Amino acid sequence: MLQVGSISLLMQSDRQQAKSILLKDLILLLVRCLLIIILALLLAQPIFKKTVNDNTEKGWIVMEQGSLKNNYSHYKPQVDSLLKAGYTFHYFNKEAAETDFAEALSGDTIRQSTNPRNYWLLLQSLDQHVPDSLPVFLYTSNDLGHFKGTRPAVSMNLHWNMHPTAASKSSWLANAYADALAKTHIAIANSTTEGTSIVHQQYAIGELPSNMNAENKPGGSTLYLTDDDGNTSSIPIDTASIEIVLYSNTFAADISYVKAAIDAIRSVGQRRVNVSVVRNLSSLPGKIDWLFWLSYQPLPSIITYKNALVYSPGKQQTLSSWIQPTVAGNEPFTLFKTTETKANNKDEKIWTDGYGQSLLSLQHGSKNTYSFYSRFHPQWSDLVWSQHFPEVLFNLLYSTNSYQIHPLDKRVVEPSQLLPRLVPGNNTKEKFITQLSLNMLFWSIAFVLFCLERLLSFVRKKEGSYA
């Protein structure tokens, strides 16, 4: 046992040490708590709402994120002049977020997207963020894929500068299917700023060119193409057969015209198509991909099918008009007779007459039902006598009536056709609210707090080693 005279001094020293440890731990705890709070705020994407006044603001420069460098290279003198004059930079998005142009330009990377942004929709959103008289200089491309729907009407002082993208050509796979002879039929789209053309080729699987390859997957084979500019596209190889049923209890001639067109499709393209002519409901097969119900008899609900084209009964009308299929390249066909149209406004118009009335309408659902307000007969139209009748049916059978623009489509539109309609402003407010991102500020605060936390932890650890 070690004997000492008094331990009062030792206990006092312990109490002082405890107070010192408590004070420093509280500071460290506070720094760590602040760091966690800042990181949580960063996840919430903090913004600052700024009042825009057209009496104090010079104007806006607007570009889409991902295309800043391309736009800047085309309009550098003008953009530099506007920045020097005091114009602020904003992204072309729904929030019209303001940011520093130099920082945005240095960190901008090319945006690759399979779904290009719709500039007309973004323009309507931008119209809600700026006063009517504030100058807005917008810089975008005039690529066709960025413009969908109806051209908008806006009330702003807009100066829209458009240019085509740098890449001037591309190719992609538009279609691929296997025929009954194990040959692969391939449709390749070649696109430039002037237009897009389709080239049809036929190969055996082992004879594909060097820029194509087929890959077997659980769901079937997929074909890949790499064009001269390195763009890659892919498409499944269609190996399925289409089961088509033609039914009529009275209109035998209508069936013969439709069957002849389908036989032509099968013969020319070597498509896997099975056609059945049925006059008795009990003879209907179990699987029906397309049912042509060429009869005014009501279609029984118990019949199972994927798609059905049904004659719509009604009062017959004699007129002088035409059929306009919604397929690019087809000329109108003369129309002599129709039945009274009873199309629902929600149904999609596939074919129309010369007055814009629905002639073939589509009701979407688990069963797609097409209502036809005429007949496939020479007394009703000259469609069945036209050499383009098989092409019209082909586009209907293979769902190419819904035209979509491919992401690699390089066609451009004349800028004068894209400019919105400018209308007088109906805003009573003189001030608007825009949003300024605070991400950079909070990241800077988080970095400082992190360095401070590391410093305090190091000092605390060092003092503990000397204790």
What's the rounded mean pLDDT across residues 347-375? Answer: 88
Q: Is the dihedral of CA 424, 427, 428, 433 positive or negative?
A: negative
Residues 6+ away with beta carbon under 8 Å from 360: 309, 349, 350, 351, 370, 371, 372, 373
Q: Which amino acid is at 104?
A: A
pLDDT score of 148: 83
pLDDT score of 325: 72
Asked if the model's pLDDT at residue 64 lies above 70, the reply is yes
β-strand partners of 214: 223
Helix, strand, or coil (residue 258):
helix
Residues 6+ away with beta carbon under 8 Å from 40: none
Question: What is the rounded average pLDDT for all residues in the chain?
Answer: 82
pLDDT score of 255: 95
Angle at 30 between CA 26 and CA 36, to 5 degrees: 145
Dump pLDDT digits (tens) for 108-163.
Answer: 876 655 578 899 999 998 988 888 888 999 999 888 888 888 888 898 899 999 98
Q: Which amino acid is at 268?
A: V
What's the rounded mean pLDDT across residues 334-355? Answer: 84
Query: Among residues 276, 299, 302, 298, which one has the least CA distance to residue 289?
Result: 276
| Whether the Cβ atoms of residue 88 and residue 116 lie closer than 8 Å to each other | no
Pairing of strands 153-154, 184-192: unpaired
Helix, strand, or coil (residue 293):
strand
Per-residue b/e over 160-183, b at no fewer than 16 CB within 10 Å? bbbbbeeeeebbbbbbbbbeeeee
Asked if the model's pLDDT at residue 22 lies above 60, the reply is no
The number of beta carbons lying within 10 Å of the beta carbon of residue 347 is 17
Asked if the model's pLDDT at residue 67 lies above 90, the reply is no
Helix, strand, or coil (residue 307):
strand
User: CA-CA distance, 73 to 317, in Å (whole number)?
Assistant: 60
Q: What is the pTM of this model?
A: 0.59
What's the rounded mean pLDDT across residues 28-38? Answer: 83
Task: Name the residue ranges covered by the structural domains of the chain.
Answer: 47-164+412-421+433-440, 169-236, 242-397
- The token pair at 268 is 């020319």
Asked if the model's pLDDT at residue 274 lies above 80, the reply is yes
pLDDT score of 375: 95
β-strand partners of 163: 141
pLDDT score of 20: 52
Task: State the alpha helices, DSSP H only, in 44-115.
Answer: 68-84, 101-106
Helix, strand, or coil (residue 122):
helix
Residue count of the chain:
467
Query: Among residues 434, 413, 431, 448, which one has the least CA distance to residue 194?
Result: 413
User: Fold for domain 242-397?
Assistant: Rossmann fold (3.40.50)
DSSP conformation class of 412: B
120 vs 423, higher pLDDT: 120
| Whether the Cβ atoms of residue 270 and residue 181 lie closer than 8 Å to each other | yes
pLDDT score of 368: 92
| Whether the Cβ atoms of residue 136 and residue 154 lie closer than 8 Å to each other | no
Dump pLDDT digits (tens) for 289-328.
Answer: 999 999 999 988 888 899 999 999 988 989 888 887 755 4
349 vs 462, higher pLDDT: 349
